[in-house]
Structure 1
Amino acid sequence: MIHAVIFDIDGTLVDSVDLHALAWHEAFRHFGHAVTFEQARSQIGKGGDQLLPAFLSQQQMSDHGETLEQWRAQLFKSTYLSCVRPFSAVAQLLECVRDIGLTVAVASSAKEDEVRTYLEIAGVANLVDVISSSSDAEKSKPAPDIFQAVLAKLQLRGADTLAVGDTPYDAQAAIKAGLNCIGVLCGGFTEADLRSAGCLAVYPGPAAPYACFSTSPIALMAR
């Protein structure tokens, strides 16, 4: 029986994955690295600590990795953040989760101020009980740190919670922390990607588990 549901944000609650990929692509190009949009997109879901080493050598990381990441963050805020929109039925899904007595948490590799901005954009700031962000984790997904941090705040075990995410990295991190995970396809990864990473169910987006909430793993595992 679960007592809480932990949601990822980017690509799960808000439509931001392509925007993040564009910002990373432009940042790599600005610093002289030929990383395509598609290559950058395949790594979205990881924090910069895990994403940068996929494309930069250790020497390049030491030389300008932090500067590149800061440049990207500023570009995203100034150019792309205003374009972020929520997926359909996000608020309704979270209301259903709360209505059956479960706690709602979010676990994101984004910084806390970004997380709170996303929750405002999605119109769910008042529906989230616990927030865990990059400042709570030494390593980002697919490391389990962010889920371990939110479990500590919830004072629950992994088996007492369920994760919802859009990337294989969400599922891998959740499973390492002892959680089951539901996948959503709205972040752009395939069903095969999510199931091979360990998702026990996969939906097109948040509207689908809302539409069939009573038979979803969330409701069934809360009984």
Structure 2
Amino acid sequence: MAIKAVLFDIDGTLVDSNDYHVEAWQAVFNRTGATFDDRAVHDQIGKGTDMLVPTLLPDTDEAEQERMGEEHGRIFKSKYLERVTPFADARDLLVKVKDSGRQVVLASSASSEELEHYVALLDAGEIVSVSTTSDDVERTKPAPDIFATALKKLSSLDASEVIVVGDTPYDIEAAARCGIAAVGVRSGKFNDQALRDAGAVALYDDVAALLADFDASPLNG
């Protein structure tokens, strides 16, 4: 079937924020006395608190996980959010998708407040048809909930009629659990092997490269 909607991750895909999330999480972990190198934390970025914290601190109970997530959110929003910039051609790719007759969907593990900020940053209010955030689901990526919720909002479409664009293995795994194909971008600084092992159907350096190859890309299927 032809692709009728494109589901975009945001952090690391449309905006350059992954390193800032690492710094914010490191501040949280430092306050609890936990020590991780930056790569270990980076390799969990793309997950929400419910998945990230138990991976790094498996003995942390749910109340402490929630507290740490709230602290991360406060630090990120107060110190880093205003420093986040869109990747080159991010908005242009969204416009290209819409102009091609397809729906533009934002499907992120970010909070709804962060989503609103990024929509404004990308000047995408009139481009985006549907959005989902961590506030809409019980479990974040790599659980399928965020993409499954987006698919429900696209009630007339089948999984074969949509495609995901994301920068982490967790985007690609979550999409696969919904029966959705996914394109990986390297802008989030995950290695090719991790993205391919997760099931990416194609890899691009960033959204600018994907835009340049749009006509031949899986988005134009």
- Relative to the length of structure 2, the TM-score reads 0.95
Give, in whole Å, the separation in 1 of the partners of 2:135 and 2:19: 24
**Counterpart check, 1:83 vs 2:75:** no
Q: What does residue range 149-164 of structure 1 map to in structure 2 within 5 Å?
A: 149-155=149-155, 156-164=157-165
Which amino acid in structure 1 is aligned with residue 91 of structure 2? Answer: A
Give, in whole Å, the separation in 2 of the partners of 1:158 and 1:65: 32
Structure 1 contact 43–51 (Cα < 8 Å) conserved: yes
Report what 1:210 is aligned to. 211
Structure 2 contact 50–65 (Cα < 8 Å) conserved: no
Give, in whole Å, the separation in 2 of the partners of 1:79 and 1:135: 22
**Counterpart check, 1:67 vs 2:56:** no
Structure 1 contact 10–16 (Cα < 8 Å) conserved: yes
Give 1:195 deviation, angstroms: 1.0
* CA shift in 2, pair 1:82/1:193, >3 Å: same
* CA shift in 2, pair 1:186/1:63, >3 Å: same
Give 1:91 deviation, angstroms: 1.1
Report what 1:144 is aligned to. 144
Report what 2:7 is aligned to. 6
Secondary structure of the residue aligned to 2:61 is helix
Determine what percentage of the aligned residue pairs are the same residue: 42
Report what 2:184 is aligned to. 183
Which amino acid in structure 2 is aligned with residue 66 of structure 1? Answer: E
Report what 2:34 is aligned to. 33
Give 1:61 deviation, angstroms: 2.4
Give, in whole Å, the separation in 1 of the partners of 2:99 and 2:121: 22
Report what 1:98 is aligned to. 98
Give 1:120 deviation, angstroms: 1.4
Give, in whole Å, the separation in 1 of the partners of 2:125 and 2:27: 30
Report what 1:21 is aligned to. 22
Deviating above 6 A after TM superposition, structure 1's stretches of 4 or more consecutive aligned residues are none
Give, in whole Å, the separation in 2 of the partners of 1:151 and 1:30: 39
* CA shift in 2, pair 1:171/1:62, >3 Å: closer
